[in-house]
Structure 1
Amino acid sequence: MLKVLWGKEATRQSSLMEDVWRFRHQQFVERLGWNDIRRPDGREIDQFDGPRAIHFPQLNHAGEIVGYSRLLPTTEPHLLSDVYPQLMGDRSPPRGNTIYEWTRCVATIDGSPIDGVAVSSRQMAGVLEYCLLVGIEALIVETYPKLLNMFLSTGWDVLPLNAPSQFNEHFIVPFCAYPTAATLEWHRSNYGIRGSLLDLGADVESPLAGPAQISERPRLSRLVAA
């Protein structure tokens, strides 16, 4: 299941968040070689990991983190606005209460499928499910062009925001991915996903509506229960 941690929930689960920081360091620094963010304490944490960052650690049946994603509100500083604005050229990045930036998406390469579904597929579908539940209407992504093609091939509605730019010997393209019920149905059907992938706990607040509860948004109740 994908845990959903942000705000007070992330504070309450401080032990799991420590595991998140170490998992991110292991994956992005030790495995992928992002040495610019290497830290001597073995914790990958940055200036955007504030109370409104939404964390999605995916746990296997043994309780180990095997996948992770993070969403950042575009109404606050985020990677495209504050670290990689050159990717937009002379254009302004999209911002809005229902627009989030999708970052730090990763799955272990040696992890076994969970209930017959690959960890990476569960990660993508779980984030998509959450966006539909709480009303996030667009996700900004900065990644390699081949991953843009992966979004297209897995049913996502996407819009490139600019042409690819060369960055650290790689080409990076910014684009918007739009969560839709049809895309969630595609993931469920093609990956054999049954039921919800989210472990929301009790009384989880929506990041868009303050005190409003996710359970008060009924538009995807059929899909979540499927």
Structure 2
Amino acid sequence: MPVHKLDQMSEAEGPLLREMFEARKRVFVDMLKWDVPVLAGTWELDHFDDEQATYIIIGDGRGGHLASARLLKTTRPHLLDQLYPMLVEGPIPTGPDTREITRFCIDPRQRAPERRQARDMLVSALAEHALAAGIARYTGVAEIGWYNQIAAFGWDCEALGTPMVLGGRMLAAMIIAIDEHTPARLHANGIWAETGTEPGTPPPAFHRPEQRA
């Protein structure tokens, strides 16, 4: 399972990115019924999918998408401060060493063991990326059932406030501290998966689907 780290959307990775946006539509719109933008009835993407976003994508080696997550800088507008500040008790964690995890997506077309493997590799890739990029903490928002799973992975995760029902869903904001002990903690809980990812240089800009001929 190749791991792709994209600091910008690249032309070369265009097919894989389209697969990711299609998978996000299947998960967040078709399955979870989120009220989010859908482009051409096919791709789920919003205004946060811009040149500032970073994507961690687990591929199948044939250009297919298995799992992915989007990372947003917290020094600019992001979901927690724009849409869910009420979930945080106290200041919203921000800074150059803090990223927000959004659109954590496991492709539903996989069998259960394959989804588990893709999930573990994505979590491990997120930890590896943080350690390589100087990211000390992740923030995020999740439905309470998914939050409980994330908190049980073994890394240092805690709620930022009291969960609340918003839009018919019980949501919780979280913060995940990342340090040199995180891989061992994940490994102890049976989550860690070696990714073999090497830091790369940012690829050239990718044109969003609505901009392509």
What is the TM-score when the length of structure 2 is the normalising length?
0.81
Q: Quick one: distance in 1 between partners of 2:57 and 2:39? A: 20
Match of 2:152 in 1: 153
8 Å contact kept, 1:2–1:199:
no
Q: Quick one: distance in 2 between partners of 1:44 and 1:148? A: 22
TM-superposed CA distance for 1:148, in Å, is 3.1
Deviations 1:60-96 (A, max 9, x none): 244310111010000011001112223236x331110
Deviations 1:114-136 (A, max 9, x none): 6x961111111111111111110
What is the TM-score when the length of structure 1 is the normalising length?
0.77
Other structure's SS at 1:181 match? coil
Other structure's SS at 2:48 match? coil
Letter in 2 for 1:103: T
Other structure's SS at 2:139 match? strand
Give the helix-richer structure, 1 or 2. Answer: 1
> Unpaired segments of 5 or more residues in structure 2?
203-213
Q: Quick one: distance in 1 between partners of 2:83 and 2:166? A: 12
Query: What number of residue pairs does the alignment pair up?
Result: 199
Q: Quick one: distance in 2 between partners of 1:73 and 1:42? A: 26
Deviations 1:16-75 (A, max 9, x none): 322222221122112222244344441111111121211112112443101110100000
Letter in 1 for 2:101: W
Match of 2:7 in 1: 6
CA 1:74 to 1:111, structure 2 compared with 1: closer, same or farther past 3 Å?
same
Q: Quick one: distance in 2 between partners of 1:192 and 1:95? A: 27
Match of 1:19 in 2: 19
Task: Give the 5 Å matches for 1:62-81.
Answer: 62-81=62-81
4+ residue runs over 6 A deviation: none
Match of 1:131 in 2: 130
> Unpaired segments of 5 or more residues in structure 1?
206-226
8 Å contact kept, 1:75–1:97:
yes
Task: Work out the percentage of aligned pairs sharing the same amino acid.
Answer: 21
Match of 2:37 in 1: 37
TM-superposed CA distance for 1:162, in Å, is 1.1
Letter in 2 for 1:150: Q
Q: Quick one: distance in 2 between partners of 1:108 and 1:27? A: 7
Q: Quick one: distance in 2 between partners of 1:160 and 1:191? A: 20
Match of 1:102 in 2: 101
TM-superposed CA distance for 1:177, in Å, is 0.5
Two-structure CA RMSD over aligned residues (Å):
2.4
Q: Quick one: distance in 2 between partners of 1:145 and 1:27? A: 17
Give the strand-richer structure, 1 or 2. Answer: 2
